[in-house]
Structure 1
């Protein structure tokens, strides 16, 4: 592991900055520590359809999660002027107020990610569902609308449908797919 300090100036978008770091370093890793403040925080709360936005002088408490050239998955917590703590999934639009200093741990001998080892032209998404199931139809419509190639499977007996798999790993049903979409984590699966 290599520890890399990262200073973010006023106005920097925290998520975009970390995505750019992972791309330019061509490495995965995680946030080791952070101090700083924000003028605006954009974060996804569980079960909400759209990100929450808070503005003001906000103090960063924690930022943790993973980053890779394919994207980031980070959770933020921060306090407002009344010391009320907020937090959730980090979204675009989280802006630095005066400055933020991070220490990022980059993995130097990381295994290639599924996105890096995927064979061109072979869909990474599989879906097992039933034609008459409304949730199967919704999942199929979402995949088609987003331009994500997929393979349809026969459902195995006794399981609820649909069942979705990304790179062979079960992610759950339609709700899990919708949650990944709301966090922008399906973007890397679009027609490649």
Structure 2
């Protein structure tokens, strides 16, 4: 299995699915079905110092420690530097149903990054930290979209999402750089 080739194809598709956050929120279900599964990326126009000036929210144990991560990583060599227009990738993750009957779909997971009320949910919690939607964008790769089946055909076996999603998330970071706001 050639993971580098698969990652390169996923990278092309995710860049084609780039949406400013207000547009993504408005078009939601037309862009991603409720029970979709895949990878997602969050982009921002903000520089690292602006990101580090975010509001802290009390009592949200699952919240990504943005200030701490920026301070510790801002000068490191292998931070992801992929840019599109005025935006830069600062986060990537996986989302969707492990067994397509329960849990959040890919779109739901992306929306959790924006506004997570549950203190146990790992989240950037962007809208509750003083960020403006127009400073953010999202892109994604939907494992279940028919147009993407050819890209991941080598992976399409029983339980392929559960088996490969976390590996692809990690391998993408090794290939393209670690987004500064990803904890691990």
The structure with more strand, counted as a fraction of residues: 1
| TM-score (ref. length: structure 1) | 0.25
| Higher relative contact order structure (alpha carbons within 8 Å, sequence separation ≥ 6) | 2
User: Which has the larger Rg?
Assistant: 1
| TM-score (ref. length: structure 2) | 0.26
